[in-house]
Structure formats: structure tokens, C-alpha cells
Amino acid sequence: MCGIAGIIGTGDCAREVAVALQALQHRGQDSSGIGSVCGEEFPLVHKLGLVGQSYGAEDMAHLPGPLAIGHVRYPTVGRGLLRDAQPFFHRQPGLLMAHNGNFINVREMQEVLREDSIHLLSQCDVEPAMCLFALEMMRRRRRDHTLEDALAALDATFTRAAGAFSILVALKLDGIPTLMAVRDPNGIRPLVWGQGNGSFTVASESVALDAVGAHLEGDVAPGEAVFFRRDQEPIRRTWRRGEAAPCIFEFIYFARPDSTMNGRSVYGMRQDLGRELARAWAQKKLSADLVVPIPDTARPSAAAVAEELHIPFREGFIKNRYSGRTFIMASPGERQNALRLKLNPIASEFRDRRVLVVDDSIVRGTTLSRTIHLIREQGPREIHLAIYSPPVLYPCYYGIDMSTREELAAPRFVESATEGFLSEAEQRRLEHNLAARLGLDSLTYLPGEALRRVHPGGCCAACFEGRYPLPVSDERRRWIEEDRRCVVQRELLF
């Protein structure tokens, strides 16, 4: 998971891109980068760490120009090194590229590039895609590239580069600085655009538009390429048709609640999921004295659970705002230390109470296991856990850091591995066994059909039901899993 933002406007845009990236900081904390287009130059700055602490006046002075793109990175392919930071620059025809997502055939792309003796500088998966795109552009024309060249190159490139991606490219087309925004044919990763103050802004989430005062116009559609230029209407083209399958996990966990994605409020959807979860919990005829969210993601759902069940809502934890997000910390050691810093329980809220704790999901379960231990230390009478998503049973190959099945907690408690959501009986068995292992009085997941009720349209829910909108061959799965095993020594729960 990463975040991207691009702005084309009247003044120097890099400063606004830095602001937009700060609004997207929750999508990646490892590194960031900003590049601009200024005349014939493409200045570029990369930094490790948080955006707000990284860029100074000197960096901004180095990034003039009315077109800039930026990126915040969490590595799912490649390591968290500065050389893997985006955007990337290609000398011919002169372009900057940044993406959010995951290419599932990086090795195949690398082999194609080797045929042309093109060597790569990083292990980041967007670099080979960028090189292929640049090659296709140069095959069409040696200079003075047109918008039609870019569309043809896009089509030729992405018959070879498969994956889930939202991409920003900054380049000159028809002699004019152009911000090109591209979404994969299934629209798995998000991308929205808007305008305001004489600028167009494109970003992973609408909160980045809010931060720079742009008005949200809508999503870049699945399979669409949109070309933004100063003082012109956006040029919208469908470059490849596909079935829309936006990532449902964006709504559950990744996106900020104040974002709007695919026309829906993330906050509103988390509340709807909470209401459905309350109904599932009520069927078990259990009782609780209060509902407590694991902050911050679970708050809207927990509030809806409390409302629906007529149980008081309480803050049981105070979150340290200055600690990192544990899910996106790369090593187990980093995660462990981050959790101790991150959540401090309010002992009086737990003591002698029956608490219903609400959380978004169980992926590896390591953080959750420590959190439950922390609650147990406060002396509650009972701990019930309710999760507002179905069990995560399958890896994600589309840019979310859970790409090996062995690292997931829930599959260890499920006998069959047939596609589709678990049956009610299977889910109950999983809940019972996992609750016992976690030391809980009960565990309730959101049923799969409830997720479908909340999001009835097409979406990717492959990590819950194993149906991948973009097929991933066994060989590609092996490669992706190998890469992640090399990068991160996972701490497993059981």
C-alpha cells in the first residue's frame, strides 16, 4: 500500500504535493519522493521517513514548475531503501512515474528489458513498468510525443505489465506539460481527481484533495487514462475495459474515514459494517457492559455496534499519536515496540466489566494477541471480540502487505480451502477455536453475506473468499511470496 498525488496548476506545485502527501501519510511511512516538470528539466527529491519532517525550503526551491507528482511508500516489492523511493525518472522521452499497487509479473518484465540491455537501478516494481512505457514511447517517435503516442504506449506496456495499479506520469505531450493518471482495468487500487484554485489534483484518496483545497470531481474509472493540462478540460480515455473490482479492504482498514472512494464515504461504510456486525453478535445471545473500539480505524464501526445493541460506547484505549502504524512497520521488532508505545488502556473502563472490543480485521493476529493480553491485565470480567470483516483466509497479491498464506492467522483454524466465503458452520468453528487460542470469551466475525449487503457492487474481496479478479499464476504467486519472505522475517502468531 502506497499513496500518490499529482498536481498541475499555475504556480510551483511541489509544495502543494508535499501537503497532499502528508494527508496520505497513513498509506506509507518508509520513504517519499516529489518530482516536478520545469521546462526541459525533471528535478526530483527522495527522502526516508515522514513527509512533514523531511522537506524544507531548500528542497522546494529545487522543485519548481507547474506540474509535480509525489509518492509515499510502504514496500510490498523491493526493500525499504531510498533507491526504491518513487517517483522514478526516465531520460527518454523525459518522464516521471509513481504508482500505488503491485505488478504481479516483475520478473517477466525484467527479462523483456534485458533483451534491450536495460538495467534497473532499484527493486521497485514500477521501475520496469516505467522503462517498458518509455521504450514504447520511443519506438513510436524519437521526439515531440503526442497524447496518442502515450495511449498507444500505455496499451502496449500493460499487455506485458500485469497487476493492480494506479499510476501518475508527469511528462510533455504535444509540447505541453501533462499529468497522466491511469487506473488498472479492474480499478483495484483507488485514484480520485478534483480541481480548485486553477489546478487539477489527482490522488489515492480524496483527503489529499481536501488538504490542498481541491473539490472532488470523482474517480479515475477502472481502465481509464485521464490527461490533465493547464487551462484545458481533462481528456478522458478508456485504454482497457475490465470488470470493476475495487479493493474492499480500503474501506475496511486502509483508507482514512474522511475519504470518499468510488462515490462512497469510507466512514459511512464502516458504520454500515458495524450495524451488520451488531446483528451477527446479537444472534449469539451474549451480553456486554460496554463497547470499546481498537483505535482509530474501528471507531466508526464500534459506535454503530453500540448504537445498534444499546450498549454504552467507551474509549478503552488512548492512542499515542506520535507512534507509527504497526501494520505498516516492516520488521516484527519494529511492530512489537510500536504497539507498546501505541495503545495505553484506561484501566477503570475495563475493570470488572464485560467488554465487547471491536476491531477491523485479523491478519497475522500478532498485534491483536498483544492487545488482548493488555486488556486482560486490566481485570475485565469477560472479553468479547467482534471483527467487522470476514476472516482473512487468502493472501493479497495486489499491493497489500499480506502476500503469503503462512503468515495469516485464520487459515490455521479452517479445514477446507474451497473458494467463497465460509459457511456459517465453518465460521462458527473458526470463531470458537481462534477465540480459545487468543484467550477470548467469544469471537465474532462479520459474515461474508453481510459484507456483500454493505457493498453489493463488484469489488475485490479475494483475501476473504479466494476469488482473484486478476488471475495470478502459481509461478507468479511463488515469486511474490519468495520476495516477501526475503524482505520480511514474519513473526507468526501460532
- Compute the distance between CA of residue 457 and CA of residue 204 in angstroms, rounded to an integer: 20
Q: What are residue 141's phi and psi, to 5 degrees?
A: -160, 145
Is residue 2 part of the annotated active site? The answer reads yes
CB atoms within 10 A of CB 104: 26
- Minimum CB distance to ligand SF4 smaller for 446 or for 460: 460
Q: Are 186 and 460 in contact (CB under 8 A)?
A: yes
- Compute the distance between CA of residue 480 and CA of residue 494 in angstroms, rounded to an integer: 23
Give me the amino acid identity at 140: R
- Is 431 exposed, middle or buried, given 0-12, 13-18 or 19+ CB atoms closer than 10 A? buried
The residue count for the chain? 494
The residues that touch ligand SF4, with contacts defined as CB under 6 A, are 188, 247-249, 396, 398, 400, 460-463
Closest approach of ligand SF4 to the CB of residue 441, in Å:
29
- Compute the distance between CA of residue 336 and CA of residue 334 in angstroms, rounded to an integer: 6
- In three-state form (DSSP H/G/I as H, E/B as E, the rest C), the secondary structure along 435-493 is HHHHCCCEEEECCHHHHHHHCCCCCECHHHHCCCCCCCCHHHHHHHHHHHHHHCCCCCC
Closest approach of ligand SF4 to the CB of residue 460, in Å:
3
- Minimum CB distance to ligand SF4 smaller for 338 or for 400: 400
Task: Give the torsion sign (CA, 487, 208, 240, 142).
Answer: negative
- Compute the distance between CA of residue 86 and CA of residue 78 in angstroms, rounded to an integer: 12
Catalytic residues: 2
